[in-house]
Amino acid sequence: MTKTVTTRYDVAEHLRTPEEMAAYLEACLEEAGGDAAFIAKALGDIARAKGMSQVARDAGLSRESLYKALSGERNPGFDTILKVIAALGIKLHAEPASQ
């Protein structure tokens, strides 16, 4: 019998276009349920897809601190989130919550 070899799924490998990245973040924002670390992890996935070193440079952060901030194990400061979002070329927008 042949053994089945599996690999870990990495969403960053499938985020190729800015539209896919924005759609992924939008879906994560809807599913997060107020979990800031979950959103940070989603931003980390997008940053890895774009290239963590370049995103770190564009955000004015060290690569190591960016990895830590977007690991999903901590809640980074909102200023860090805003820098990363700008570096990723993503815009946030607001709309009224459905009632």
Q: What is the pLDDT of residues 38-90, one digit of tens each?
A: 999 999 999 999 999 999 999 999 999 999 999 988 889 999 999 999 999 99
Element (H, E) at 6: none
DSSP 14: G
Is residue 3 included in any domain, yes or no? no
Per-residue pLDDT for 93 more than 90? no
In a domain, 45, yes or no: yes
37 in any annotated domain = yes
The reply to whether 57 falls in a domain is yes
Q: Is the pLDDT of residue 92 over 90?
A: no
Q: Which domain holds residue 31?
A: 16-88
* Residue 4 amino acid letter: T
Reported pTM: 0.87
Give the single-character DSSP code of 70: T
Give the integer Cα–Cα distance in Å for 52 and 67. Answer: 8
Is there a domain that residue 64 lies in?
Answer: yes
Q: How many domains does the chain have?
A: 1
The contacts of residue 40 (CB under 8 Å, 6+ apart) are 69, 70, 71, 72, 74, 75, 76, 81
Dihedral angle over CA of 99, 37, 92, 96, nearest 10: 10
